Structure 1
Amino acid sequence: MWRLAVAFLLFGTLQAVDRQNFKVCDQSGFCKRHRSIVEPTGYEVIKDSIKLNETGLHAKIKNKDNTLKLSIVVLKDSTVRVLIDEDEGALRPRYQPLDALVNREPEQQKLKKSKEEENATKLLTTDGNRVVLIHKPFRIDFYVKDKIVNSINSKGTLKFEQFKKKVLLTDKEKGFWEETFKEIKDTKPYGSSSVGVDIAFVGAKFVFGIPEHAEGYQLRDTRTYEPYRLYNLDVFEYETNSPMALYGSIPYLVGVNQKRSVGALWLNAAETWVEIEPTTADKGALAKEVLDAETKPRNVPQQNARFISESGVIDIFITLGPQPNDIFRQLAALTGVTPIPPEFALGYHQSRWNYKDQKDVKEVHEGFVKNDIPLDVLWLDIEHTDKKAYFTFDKDNFAKPEEMISDLAENNRKLVTIVDPHIKKDGKYHIYKEAKKNKLFVKDVNGDNYEGNCWPGDSMYVDYTNPKARKWWAEQFAFDKYKGTDKNVHIWNDMNEPSVFSGPEITMHKDAKHHGGFEHRDVHNVYGFYQHSATFDGLKARSNNEIRPFVLSRSFFAGSQRTAAVWTGDNKADWNHLRYSIPMLLSLSTAGLPFVGADVGGFFGDPEEELLVRWYQAGAFQPFFRGHSHQDTKRREPWLFNSTTTDAIRQAIKTRYAFLPYWYTLFYEHAKSGKPVMRPFWLEFIEDESSWDEDRQWMVGSGLLVKPVQEPSAKEVSIYLPGKRQVWYDWHTHKARPSPGAVQIPADLNTIALFHRGGTIIPKTSEVKLTTKENREQPITLYIAVNQKGDFANGTIYLDDGESYSYENGDFAYWGFTFKKEHDYLHTITSTNLDKKGKLDSDVYIDKIVIRGAKFYPRNAHIFLDDFIPEDLEFEFNRDNFLMEIENPGAYVTREFKIDIHS
């Protein structure tokens, strides 16, 4: 019977998402109750409960129904934590997803001063921020340099449903003790346990974040619209321009203005809804706090966000910035960064559901080589397994996996296999037998093993919230257990929301039971997080912690960046999905997850050739670059189209490989600073307010601006050049353009708008090879874009072996390059070792230097190397576009040099 249901489900998805399978707020009892709050809920601080300590305070708050405990803790680096929980004597503990944090107890900071007054308690931090607890009505205000920037409960919407002993149902409590959706009952033995409160971003004209939604980058007003939903779900062929929940959830928001940026992390793993209300500061309780001699509250924008979660506690981290760089560093300190990925993972990945056998894999592999198209990874979807039993290979179609993997490895390529969380219910399947024997499965409401339907049919689900289960899962990747694999096999965790075809909203029943007695409703959004984290640990352990793993996950939560890349799921081959992939990836990057991408060409449907080319051009400048498609689509290997299309795809992929030295450096720098690799404009150009909500263009690092063509049959593409007192150079023509302003360029099939920011230096591979391993050994061209003043530019490059952890022991190089005007007749280019802990001396050399915006007339140039004896350099200079090219300077990337240019 389940097969028939699945067939109908999949048939429906080929048409469009069936919205009736998924709730709206009005169908969710707790969301509806919270959203109906009109008057303040009346909480106030119990004054004699306040207990100050050296890093914050503890207190109790109450209204006519509840008494709750409150703690405010000041953390290192301008971050404050606010925790609200049930008072002592609660019927049961509430779940906190603390493993999402780098440290379950983040490092605290001593207060500079604290003071308890009649109606307020004030905390002054050592970094100059102020936290004010208003006693009645309860509110928490946050100040940076005496300016209020954020406030919790300023609208008085705090609601906290405490666990109760069951009583008779009444109309007033409808949905409190049980709910039914599409004939599936959800029991609540302790009643509804929802929590919610409002968070005001004072001064913020825009708010960004809370992925994942197929929406614009700027979060919209939800007052007459559905709230944004955070509930990890398997949504086939999802709609664009919709606040529907998708595959992952990161409950992190950023509010931005020109002087300061503020973030808020809502650490809760339950189903969550988020309302957004744009307003001004004179419209609420904060008007008196905003008023000063220069600014009237009505002129101060304010964004009120309201988080509503089905269970858990209120655990909020406010990152106070004040600048964009600061909030990314502060978020990284809480939830972590992506460690330097293996270099192959930044290359091009080719996937399909499914390559049917080893002969098919071999032919696809050879096709890339024969057609001179770079490739680093081939992927195998669910059909490669023995009847959907993961950690196995089909005995007929993939009878000799070692030979297939060896063939790829000999050509410097990798294999990725899929391993999903649903375990085939089969007494002969060793994974099922072990998990059942060791009691590692999720339980149903009655305490039996939870059973649902997924690709194998009847399936059980590993309880990854159980540390014992995670350890066992990690062990399954050992080479003697996952037979046929070696270090060249990496892993794809799909369907890990978790997807349950027979469950409510195609996921697990909320009253299922997990480790520690928690219900699935408590842990839902971290289920996939725990799976991919255990997978990463297993891949790392199988190599004795020597080889960097690559794991792709569809489900994610805050902190997922530490162990996984993610993609935007089952998108569609249409222009709208191409366009919306950009704000989706920007939102993920904003929320701390940098290694992100979208299936090139769209998963569902057959893209027209022009769309496919444009998607390749976009994907070439996005962090994770993979072509992937549904089994019912036509084959899409790049050489299967007309020669014009194949040539354009080849050029896009080769462009990606040419910029790999820059990409790899950016991922290293992310690991140090938390700054994303794919960046929104406001991160780099906070002074240019008109650019902040731009979501059809993006920055790659600080130096490259990208805008792919996103319309069919476009004759030209319009690009906005952000920033004030900036200069931009068209990458292809070298022509300089001032900013801010818009430019138009012609759009033939090979066009991708690419601009080089003045003041930056970008390393680029001079001759592109077919794999990242071969590519990394090639000479480098340095592209120098001189700033508007004509006197400066700088950039960096990072190198290591590309695959191991030896960089942790000094086997790396991190060097900087600087172009500088010394005086009217002398300009210099110098290299500097930026981290002396790095001992790598590479043979990679610089075979060309291109200077854009060289508004001087060079007479001669020479280079100083180790012996400090100048050697003459040959160069060409184009007076029409101020372009200077130095050929064969003889400099190495990891050795000091100085070039003098005399004019």
Structure 2
Amino acid sequence: MYGEDAKTVEVLVEMQEQHRLHVKIVDPASPRYEVPEAALRVPRPGQAADNPIYSVTFTHRPFSFKVTRRSTGATIFDSSVGKLTFSAQFLSVSTRLASSNLYGLGEHVHRRYRHDLNWKTWPIFASGANPFGNYENLYGHHPFYMCLEDDGKANGVMLLNSNAMDVTLQPGAADSAPIVTYRVIGGVLDFYMFLGPSPENVVQQYTEVSDLSQTDNICRRLPCQPTVAMPTVTYRVIGGVLDFYMFLGPSPENVVQQYTELIGRPVMPAYWGLGFQLCRWNYTNTAVLREVIERNRATGIPYDVQYGDIDYMEDRKDFTYDEDLYQGLPDLVQDLHDHGQKYIIILDPAITNSNRRDGSPYLPYQDGLRDGVFVKAADGETNLIGEDMNEPKSFMNGSNNGCESNRWNYPPYKPAIVGSIMYDLTLCMDAQQFWGKHYDVHSLYGHGMAIATRAAMSRVFPTKRGVIITRSSFPGTGHYAGHWLGSNKAAWEDMAWSIPGLFELNLFGIPYVSIDGISKFVRFVCPPQVGADICGFLWDTTEQLCQRWMQLGAFYPFSRNHNHRNYKDQDPAVFSQAMIDSTRDVMMTRYTLLPYLYTLFYHAHVTGATVVRPLLHEFPTDSNTWDVDRQFLWGSGLLISPVLTPDTTTVSAYFPDTPWYDYYTGQEVEGQYRGQTVTLAAPLNKINVHVRGGTILPTQQPANTTVYSRKNPMGLLVAMDDSSAASGTLFWDDGEAVDSIERNDYLFVNFSASSTELICNVVALPLGGPTPNHWASLRYGTVSVYGLALGTGTPTVRAGRVNGPLQTVAASRVQYDRENKVLSLTDLQAMDLPITQSLRFNWAQT
């Protein structure tokens, strides 16, 4: 039915690392397509790991394998729950889960971060569908999930396969217990149960029983032993091999770090890419664009990046600009640069075969013909052009000549993907690409473009960091580019759904993402961050929605306001003065915290840590955090609790059992509210932000762009834990050099605090020495300490080099709020406390 069945399968098991296992199932008699190494080069250790934290066992009749955690016996993968199918165009395997706490699998709009396991099927196949939250398979292809075990340990599983698939989630006994009642008027009650786990498995098992009176035969064919009802995942894939990687954590952060160790760490963003960005599809000419720039500058809202959408092009031809409508564009761009701002252009993958307006050949098309770069039809000769987005998505089904009726375009099993045919608004599945047949490599199309674009950008800007975002993605894309999530709507629910999107893309190793659905494949933007289109891409927004979304968006790693040409302007300057003031305040908060955010991206690049994360990553043993997805953390230390519903001036926020301090005032959340959900005041001009006790956040005086803010005095925000201790780090470089980390041309500072002192320990200095030109003026200007009990006297504060004499900080620069236990040091610049020196602050009562 599904093509030739494999007569035998070969199972390759590699205990690659203590925490990582590789299990690959292939047909030894018939080589099949596999994801090429050029797309994803995974490390292959030369010998088995010593003392792995997992064990692997096998059952031969019927075949199954089981992976468990050695310390607890928790199930990581158990294929005995269902039948293994390995046919030419259909592969199926099921596994039990350790718990009902499942996260990941993408790309889709998941309304909640923790999956509903009640027989939900999620298709995985890159497509250009609109992300309206109806189980559509979207732009990325990410068959990776994380399971949080009931004791708080976590594991992750990736299926390395680029073919179309769907994944069905099935509940355990504790998750769903509906009742069926039989009423019969005769005979006996004689039941047979079929364990599936899929509907198709059930039918196969039922029809396999040819004679229900021969119980012995049934027990030879079906598992008659009792089966524990546990949640289950079933994969159905229409090609390739079953190539699994399993990650044993044990913490959720460990799982992500181990996953990105395999697929590639996220790229390091340029500092300016963390600034606020403004875009719209329908800047009709340079006059309109200039007006938008000037009115937003006039508000005083920090604003680093202005985009040019496809409107700037000549007849929407890539690598051109319209010299009539966009006359003076080079001067406008120079004006942006003179104000410390950047201009980003958007490009399509669509290359036309028509000439330029003046009749001259369109060189990108001519060059493509010469170099043979275009996708070919099934004949291997005919060039296919006219694609729009890089899933890839087209304006028609297949081609204008249709698609041949064969097993590639009409496979025997079609996963539950959008559209009634495999080639719905995309290429024919038998089209030919460099990496293979489109049937196999469809979901690698955008990933391949990201790799090629990265290589090209490295040649054009060899000393600058990459600035690429792709709409379609695959495991490992975050190593080359960022990603955006699709055409969100100006709706309250879409704003709320963006937070699970932040979590999932960080889980997939792509912490730089935005949401819109216009016709693009690549943006010259700074990777790898994540965020939604603030105020919504589709539909007209409202001022209240936009104000709340600007507050939330100020804490997206990628903070950009963007909308569609058919809807009214929504840049901050078009709203009321109250809205402008609120937006300025929250963006100033963002820019104050950019040194902390930039440091988080450094840790993501070096260790694979997430930038935005759910509370469960920090408090995995607190079951209350397992489904919290309307709040989020920056790193481990900053908790954001946005308002996500209309006409609301309060917000419910959960505070795990540790100290938390109001970011703005330093007031500690009262002890009785730890481990509780609390109702907080949230007036229209405020978003609630809290600092976790035990954290030290590096800060900087904000400015209207990062070019100027990077020259301002630095600061430290210290939040004490229950032991009166705190720690943190600062990474600092020139903000854009492509290899500053590899060349050790950066500053790294470890911070530690106790009840009596604060130490700034410089552990790495840039190659230029302790005071290179671009950092020579950087000094600490402020220090705030939250949760510091100093008694009744006036504190005396001293500061200076660790190995030198300490100076007394003038009393006019020292403030102590005894009620909230907040020590504030201000105007420290004159004391000459450079960030490139190891420093010490101490405080005592007088």
Q: TM-score, normalised by structure 1?
A: 0.78
Q: Show CA shifts across 1:710-752 (max 9, x none).
A: 1111021111112x3x011111232212321122222211111
Q: Distance in 1 between matches of 2:295 and 2:18?
A: 52
Q: Secondary structure at the match of 2:503?
A: helix
* DSSP 3-state at the match of 1:333: helix
Please give the secondary structure, in 1, of the residue aligned with 2:761: strand
Query: Shift in Å at residue 284 of structure 1?
Result: 8.3
> Structure 1 pair 359/693, CA: closer, same or farther in 2 (3 Å)?
same
Specify the code of the residue in structure 1 equivalent to 2:430: D
Contact map agreement 1:100 1:557 (CA 8 A) in 2 = no
Q: Kindly state the Cα deviation for residue 562 of structure 1 after the two structures are TM-superposed.
A: 1.0
Query: In structure 1, the residue corresponding to 2:267 is in which secondary structure?
Result: coil
Tell me the secondary structure at the aligned position of residue 172 of structure 2: strand
**Residue 583 (structure 1) aligned with residue 500 (structure 2):** yes
**How many Å apart are 1:400 and its aligned residue?**
4.4
Q: Is this contact kept in 2: 1:785–1:852, CA < 8 A?
A: yes
CA distance in 2, matches of 1:840, 1:243: 54
Query: Match of 2:495, as an amino acid?
Result: L
Report the CA distance between 1:222 and its aligned residue. 5.2
Distance in 1 of aligned mates of 2:783 and 2:315: 55
The yes-or-no answer on 1:84 pairing with 2:25 is yes
Is 1:441 the equivalent of 2:374? yes
Aligned in 2, Cα 1:527/1:806: closer, same or farther, shift over 3 Å? closer
SS of aligned partner of 2:146 = strand
Corresponding position of 2:666:
734
Distance 2:731 2:297 in 1: 28
Q: Does the alignment pair 1:194 with 2:90?
A: yes
Tell me the alpha carbon deviations over residues 73-112 of structure 1, each in whole angstroms, 9 at most, x when there is no partner: 1213521111112223x2x6413244453x344334425x
- Give the Å deviation of 1:577: 0.6
1:897 and 2:832 are equivalent in the alignment? no
Aligned to 1:317: 245
- SS of equivalent to 1:67: coil
Q: Distance in 1 between matches of 2:789 and 2:840?
A: 20
- Paired residues of 1:251 and 1:265 also in contact (CA < 8 A): yes
List runs of 5+ in structure 2 lacking aligned partners. Answer: 176-193, 198-224, 356-360, 398-422, 513-529
Sequence identity percentage: 28
Distance (whole Å) between structure 2 residues aligned to residue 214 and residue 671 of structure 1: 26
Residue number among 807, 821, 825 corresponding to 1:871 in the alignment? 807
Q: Distance in 1 between matches of 2:341 and 2:228?
A: 55
Q: Deviations over 1:35-86 (max 9, x none)?
A: xxxxxxxxxxxxxxxxxxxxxxxxxxxx986212221112135211111122
Structure 2 residue 48 is matched with structure 1 residue 110: yes
Name the CA distance, whole Å, in 2 between partners of 1:733 and 1:284.
Answer: 57
- Distance in 2 (CA, whole Å) between partners of 1:797 and 1:424 is 48
- 1:865-885 Cα deviation digits (max 9, x unpaired): 266212112321111111111
Change (3 A) 1:218 1:97: farther
CA distance in 2, matches of 1:379, 1:810: 33
- Answering whether residue 594 of structure 2 is matched by residue 660 of structure 1, we say yes
Could you tell me how far 1:280 is from its partner in structure 2?
5.9
Cα deviation, 1:351-383, whole Å, max 9, x if unaligned, reads 110222222232222223222121111111222
- d(CA) in 1 for partners of 2:795, 2:315: 72
Closer, same or farther in 2 for the Cα pair 1:65/1:670, shift >3 Å?
Answer: closer
What residue in structure 2 maps to residue 208 of structure 1? 103
Which of 541, 564, 573 aligns to 1:639? It is: 573
Shift of 1:897: 1.1
Secondary structure in 2 matching 1:339: coil
Q: Is the 1:205–1:303 contact (alpha carbons within 8 Å) kept by the matching residues of 2? A: yes
More strand by share: 1
**Alpha carbons of structure 1 residues 421 and 402: separation in structure 2 relative to 1, 3 Å:** same
CA deviation vs aligned residue, 1:592-644 (integer Å, no higher than 9, x gap) = 21111111111111111000011111111111111111101111221111111
- 3-state SS, counterpart of residue 135 of structure 2: coil
1:484 maps to which residue? none
Output the CA distance in 2 between the equivalents of 1:299 and 1:812.
Answer: 57
Q: Is the 8 A contact 1:248 1:556 kept in 2?
A: yes
Of 595, 613, 637, the residue aligned with 1:679 is 613
Match of 2:344?
416
Deviations 1:502-524 (A, max 9, x none): 023222222222225x2212011
Contact 2:487–2:538 at 8 Å: present in 1 too?
yes
User: Closer, same or farther in 2 for the Cα pair 1:214/1:259, shift >3 Å?
Assistant: closer
Distance, in Å, in 2 between the alignment partners of 1:339 and 1:761 is 25
CA distance in 2, matches of 1:262, 1:220: 15
Distance 2:482 2:623 in 1: 31
Counterpart code for 2:369: K
SS at match of 1:847: strand
Instruction: Give the secondary-structure state (helix, strand or coil) at the position aligned to 1:279.
Output: coil
Query: In structure 2, the residue corresponding to 1:210 is in which secondary structure?
Result: strand
- Secondary structure, counterpart of 2:448 in structure 1: helix
Conserved in 1, the CA contact under 8 Å of 2:696 and 2:751?
yes
TM-superposed CA distance for 1:221, in Å, is 4.1
- Given that 1:347 and 1:771 are in contact with CA atoms closer than 8 Å, whether structure 2 keeps it comes out as yes
Partner-residue secondary structure (3-state), 2:533: coil
**Is the CA contact 1:450–1:460 (under 8 Å) kept in the aligned structure 2?**
no
Q: 1:300 to 1:713 in 2, by over 3 A?
A: farther
Q: What secondary structure is seen at the aligned counterpart in 2 of 1:423?
A: coil
* Alignment partners' CA distance in 2, 1:674 and 1:277: 30
Q: Kindly tell me: are residues 338 and 224 of structure 1, through their superposed partners in 2, closer, same or farther at Cα, counting changes over 3 Å?
A: closer
The correspondence for 2:510, drawn from 566, 572, 593, is: 593
- The 2-side partners of 1:625 and 1:298 are apart by 53
Aligned to 1:523: 441
Letter in 2 for 1:701: G
- Aligned mate of 2:720, from 763, 766, 786: 786
1:777 maps to what in 2?
711
Corresponding residue for residue 720 of structure 1:
654
Mapped pair 1:153 → 2:79: yes
Q: 1:859 to 1:383 in 2, by over 3 A?
A: closer
Deviation at 1:315, TM superposition (A): 0.8
Is 2:42–2:262's contact at 8 Å kept on the other side of the alignment?
Answer: no
2:142 is the counterpart of 1:250: yes
Please say if residues 565 and 624 of structure 1, whose CA atoms lie closer than 8 Å, have aligned partners that are also in contact: no
1:4 alignment counterpart: none
Partner Cα separation in structure 2 for residue 896 and residue 398 of structure 1: 51
After superposing the two structures, state which structure 1 stretch, 738-747 or 297-306, moved more.
297-306
Q: Where in structure 2 are the equivalents of 1:423-502 lying within 5 Å?
A: 423-426=351-354, 428-451=361-384, 459-460=385-386, 495-502=389-396
Cα pair 1:727 1:736 within 8 Å, conserved: yes
Who is 2:178 aligned against? Answer: none
Matched residue, 2:820:
881
2:595 touches 2:699 (CA, 8 Å); kept in 1?
A: yes
Given the superposition, is the C-alpha separation of residues 298 and 353 from structure 1 closer, same or farther in structure 2, using an over 3 Å criterion? farther
Asked if the contact 1:811/1:840 (under 8 Å) is kept, the reply is no
Structure 2 residue aligned with 1:507 = 426
1:267 corresponds to which of 155, 160, 165? 160
* 8 Å CA contact 1:219, 1:276 repeated in 2: no
Query: Are 2:760 and 1:831 equivalent residues in the alignment?
Result: yes
Q: What SS does the aligned partner of 1:506 have?
A: coil
Match of 2:297 in 1: 369
Aligned residue among 132, 136, 141 for 2:61: 136
For residues 128-175 of structure 1, what are the alpha-carbon distances to aligned partners after superposition, in whole Å with 9 as ceiling and x for unaligned?
43222333332222233342431241213321212xxxxxxxxxxxxx
Where does 1:166-177 land on structure 2 (aligned, <5 Å)? none
Q: Taking structure 1 as reference, are residues 235 and 439 closer, same or farther at Cα in structure 2, changes over 3 Å only? A: same
Query: Is 2:5–2:86's contact at 8 Å kept on the other side of the alignment?
Result: no
Aligned residue type for 1:213: H
* Partner secondary structure for residue 251 of structure 1: strand
- Alpha-carbon RMSD across the aligned residues, in angstroms, is 2.6
User: Higher relative CO (CA 8 A, sep ≥ 6), structure 1 or 2?
Assistant: 2
> 1:752 is matched with which residue?
687
